[in-house]
Structure 1
Amino acid sequence: MSPGWPVRLDHGRVGLRPLVMGDASTWARLRNDNADWLTPWEATLPRGAGEAISSYREMIRTLRKRARHGLAMPFAVTYDGEMVGQLTVNGITWGSARWANMGYWIVRGHAGLSITPTAVALMCDHLLGTTGLHRVEIAIRPENAASLRVVEKLGFEKVGMAPGYLHISGEWRDHFLFQILAEDAPEGLLARIDPP
């Protein structure tokens, strides 16, 4: 079991809890109802990369296995206790690096309510504090204005452009890379949303 996993985190009306098999029907409904909102930003597999994960159950089994080995942390994003999105920490690297990357999505009907910045702040505070990582990275396509606002609001540092970073919608897409280091936010990121 990795440090800091499993865990439930909350701040006001926003929460993070581990994804479970019982979320399958809600997850499928949210994804289906918001397909046009989410598809432009979704990773795809390039030709020759093998078979994509074919079901929610397979995705959860894979992510939870990786979580048990300290390599990932898959969460449901909740608002007033209702699942409204997903936040996944991936690529957790220990040793002298101590970093991870983070991806997330939220349903269109709950966008603009500060749910995503709050969830990202909660997770960063957990990763950089409790879990003991040093760096969290978020990669964002230049066209994704909503996600760019999240990292701007939280004070992530833009560290550059990664050409062809991720395969999305059938092509290799460029991404801006943003990071936050533990020493960049000794007061935590939630304090940037709700200052004292």
Structure 2
Amino acid sequence: MFDTAPRLSHGAVAVRGIRMRDARALEAELVGNRSWLEPWEATLPGSRPSGRFDTRSSIRSLLDGERDGSGLAFAIEVDGRFAGQLNVASITGGALASSTIGYWVAERFAGRGATTTAVALVADHLLGAGGLHRVEVCIRPENVASLRVVEKLGFRYEGCRRRYIHIDGDWRDHLCFALVREELAEPLLSRWLGGRVQPFDRSVYPVDVGGDPRGRAGA
């Protein structure tokens, strides 16, 4: 369905396919943003964080996913500088035609709309030229800034997945959001920038959000 991650941009923000040459920049951001990112990173049950990162192996695995058609791996850039990652996983064609998006940016790029722009660019591509019907994002209730990304873009809340993914040492609940192609009368990026997204009502959530003050890994 997809070959490689395309380069997409708006203003100072761009997304493009991650490459092996990004390994050093990626490691620098992962190490330099430990307290910022660690609460939201997937962990293996029974394991302890080592503080070490094999970024070349990680990128190689992501590129393998591109080759077999199950994923797309993007680097997020702000003003030409490596700022974070956006990964598209579980790409499925046929009768499902769906995918899942995950993302992060370094702390110094937060609050500038970079993540929101990147998610909008990629979601528009997936639901447009990519030919998918559905895009999903799952977020911990404590991760307020990442929730703001999907709320600002008008993703529809679908429900809470209890103890869904092992993150930061335990099984964590995630709130699930999605969009399908028929819900977009115009591109997601245009709708957001034009102020045509309906205000989000957080009363639909079954839990209070923002329980962890470190919840700032999106923007």
- TM-score (norm. length: structure 2): 0.84
Q: Which residue of 2 aligns with 1:38?
A: 37
Q: Specify the code of the residue in structure 2 equivalent to 1:15.
A: A
Q: State whether structure 2 residue 103 is matched by structure 1 residue 104.
A: yes
Whole-Å separation in 2 of the counterparts to 1:81 and 1:149: 24
Whole-Å separation in 2 of the counterparts to 1:33 and 1:145: 21
Paired residues, number: 191
Q: Which residue of 1 aligns with 2:193?
A: 194
Whole-Å separation in 2 of the counterparts to 1:96 and 1:144: 32
Q: Which residue of 2 aligns with 1:5?
A: 4
Structure 2 gap segments, 5+ residues each: 196-219
Secondary structure of 1:130's aligned partner: coil
* Aligned residues of 1:4 and 1:126 also touching (Cα < 8 A): no
* Aligned residues of 1:44 and 1:167 also touching (Cα < 8 A): yes
Secondary structure of 1:85's aligned partner: strand
Shift of 1:192: 2.1
Whole-Å separation in 2 of the counterparts to 1:119 and 1:6: 13
Shift of 1:4: 5.7
Whole-Å separation in 2 of the counterparts to 1:115 and 1:5: 22
- TM-score (norm. length: structure 1): 0.93
Q: State whether structure 2 residue 162 is matched by structure 1 residue 163.
A: yes
Moved segments of 4+, more than 3 Å: none
Deviation string 1:56-108 (CA, Å, 9 cap, x unpaired) is 11111111111011101011000011110100000111110000101000011
Q: Specify the code of the residue in structure 2 equivalent to 1:153.
A: K
Q: State whether structure 2 residue 66 is matched by structure 1 residue 92.
A: no
Q: Which residue of 1 aligns with 2:55?
A: 56
Percent of aligned pairs sharing the same letter: 47
* Aligned residues of 2:5 and 2:74 also touching (Cα < 8 A): no
Q: Specify the code of the residue in structure 2 equivalent to 1:104.
A: Y
Whole-Å separation in 2 of the counterparts to 1:188 and 1:69: 28
Whole-Å separation in 2 of the counterparts to 1:176 and 1:97: 21
Q: Which residue of 2 aligns with 1:67?
A: 66
* Aligned residues of 1:46 and 1:170 also touching (Cα < 8 A): yes
Structure 1 gap segments, 5+ residues each: none
Deviation string 1:102-146 (CA, Å, 9 cap, x unpaired) is 100001111010000000000000000011001110000011100
